[in-house]
Amino acid sequence: MQALRFIIGSFVLAVGLFACGPGDGRQEYTDTPVKGTITISADESFKPIVDALIQVYESNNDSTKINVQYKPESECIKDLWNDSIRMVISTIKLTDAEVQSVVDSMHIVVKQLPVARDAVAVIANPASKDTLLTMAEIQMILTGNYTRPLVPVLDGLRSTSTIRFLVDSVLKGQKLTDKAKGANTSDSVINYVAKVPDAIGFIGVSWIGNQDDARQLSFLKKVKIVQLESSDKPDKYVLPVQANIYTKRYPMTRDLTYILKEGHRGLGTGFADFMSGEIGQLIFKKAYLMPGRRNFIVRPAETKE
């Protein structure tokens, strides 16, 4: 997080130094919430869910085109200072001061909103015996101090939201082992873990959560999901299902947020409203994320043998 804050601060300074005056702030726009073309930037860890959201939005509004560039999270943050990028979707939430810095530098309205809660899922090779892990054991795996030589496999070794979460929220200052493997994409992480018995992967749950997605079902035939010790009940192990993500019983959760830069009611606003509206929230729910803008009721249930 500190590294990303440095990136944000550096860009604010650079834009401030090279700005060419305030201008009159007026610009001709050709897009509306239901017409036009825009480009957005999204954390590549969330490609399945962002693809699904865009597909439905464009289907419902056939005069729209949303071009998405998938990048590591740090590259998405740089796009806050890119005039051609209308929106950023990632796990970063700017502070009030950072929002104001973007507003002052870019002379544009900035809005941000968490629209869903995600989880970092842990996956193992089908032959692995490590199917129940505590967070202390996760730390040992990531630092290379686990009782068995498990190799952590990540979607890259720097700059992604998954890496930032593991370094900031799990390792908390400890060094990631040099034995960690970096894959180009989340599906590459899945394929690597499926082939290597001692590998253990870390990916966003949206890559394996949609039970109606044939590709994701094929992933689940290759690997198995590790259960982590519940954050509220020692010795109880839980999966990253929506109820556990909602209550944060699953210990590795994070919010998915959009940051919109738009000085008019355009296509970016339309897509933002869609994500936080009923249909968008249902798409998040279907993808195994926890909808962030709708109430979620957890009901007790019993199974009969």
pLDDT in tens, 265-284: 999 999 999 999 999 999 99
Q: Which two tokens stand for residue 189?
A: 């992480």
Q: Which two tokens stand for residue 145?
A: 């101090």
Most confident of 54-63, 150-159, 161-170: 54-63
Angle, CA of 10, 13 and 16, to the nearest 5°: 150
Which burial class, exposed, middle or buried, applies to 148 when counting CB atoms under 10 A from its CB (0-12, 13-18, 19+)? exposed
- Tell me the C-alpha distance between 54 and 271, whole Å: 8
Same domain, 258 and 230: no
Average pLDDT over residues 174-203: 93
CATH of residue 113's domain is 3.40.190.10
What is residue 263's predicted lDDT score, i.e. its pLDDT? 87
Same domain, 103 and 220: no
pLDDT of 98 strictly over 70: yes
Q: Which two tokens stand for residue 273?
A: 């409203």
Q: Is residue 297 part of a domain?
A: no
What is residue 271's predicted lDDT score, i.e. its pLDDT? 98
| R_g of the chain, CA atoms, integer Å | 20
What is the number of structural domains in the chain? Answer: 2
Three-class SS string for the chain? CHHHHHHHHHHHHHHHHHCCCCCCCCCCCCCECCEEEEEEEEEHHHHHHHHHHHHHHHHHCCCEEEEEEEECHHHHHHHHHCCCCCEEEECCCCCHHHHHHHHHHHCCCEEEEEEEEEEEEEEECCCCCCCEECHHHHHHHHHCCCCCCCEEEECCCCCCHHHHHHHHHHHCCCCCCCCCEECCCHHHHHHHHHHCCCEEEEEEHHHCCCCCCHHHHHHHHHCEECEEECCCCCCCEECCCHHHHHHCCCCCEEEEEEEEECCCCCHHHHHHHHHHCHHHHHHHHHCCCEECCCCCCCCCCCCCC
Q: Is residue 22 part of a domain?
A: no
Same domain, 101 and 126: no
- Tell me the C-alpha distance between 67 and 96, whole Å: 28
What is residue 23's predicted lDDT score, i.e. its pLDDT? 44
Average pLDDT over residues 202-214: 76
Quote the domain boundaries for residue 231: 118-247
- Tell me the C-alpha distance between 166 and 143, whole Å: 11
pLDDT of 304 strictly over 70: no
Q: Is residue 284 part of a domain?
A: yes
pLDDT of 24 strictly over 60: no
Q: Is residue 54 part of a domain?
A: yes
Same domain, 237 and 258: no
Same domain, 226 and 125: yes
Q: Is residue 145 part of a domain?
A: yes
pLDDT of 157 strictly over 70: no
Which burial class, exposed, middle or buried, applies to 294 when counting CB atoms under 10 A from its CB (0-12, 13-18, 19+)? middle
Q: How confident is the model at residue 184 (pLDDT cuts 50, 70, 90)?
A: confident
Could you give the percent of the chain with pLDDT greater than 90? 64
What is residue 17's predicted lDDT score, i.e. its pLDDT? 41
Could you give the percent of the chain with pLDDT greater than 70? 83
Per the prediction, the chain carries an average pLDDT of 86
pLDDT of 10 strictly over 80: no
Q: Is residue 200 part of a domain?
A: yes
Same domain, 50 and 62: yes
Same domain, 131 and 155: yes
Q: Is residue 260 part of a domain?
A: yes
pLDDT of 188 strictly over 50: yes
- Tell me the C-alpha distance between 189 and 110, whole Å: 34
Asked whether 233 and 240 are in contact (CB, 8 A), the reply is no
Q: Of residues 17 and 236, which shows the higher confidence score?
A: 236
pLDDT of 154 strictly over 70: yes
Residue in 258, 264, 287 with CA at minimum distance from that of residue 56 = 287
Same domain, 70 and 124: no
Asked whether 73 and 3 are in contact (CB, 8 A), the reply is no
Q: Which two tokens stand for residue 278?
A: 């009923």
What is residue 166's predicted lDDT score, i.e. its pLDDT? 94
Q: Is residue 105 part of a domain?
A: yes
What is residue 213's predicted lDDT score, i.e. its pLDDT? 66
Asked whether 155 and 203 are in contact (CB, 8 A), the reply is yes
What is residue 63's predicted lDDT score, i.e. its pLDDT? 97
Same domain, 197 and 172: yes
Average pLDDT over residues 94-105: 91
Residues 133, 224, 249, 152: what is their CA dihedral angle, to the nearest 10 degrees? 50
Average pLDDT over residues 129-141: 96
Same domain, 90 and 155: no
Same domain, 72 and 217: no
Same domain, 126 and 99: no
Average pLDDT over residues 205-209: 79
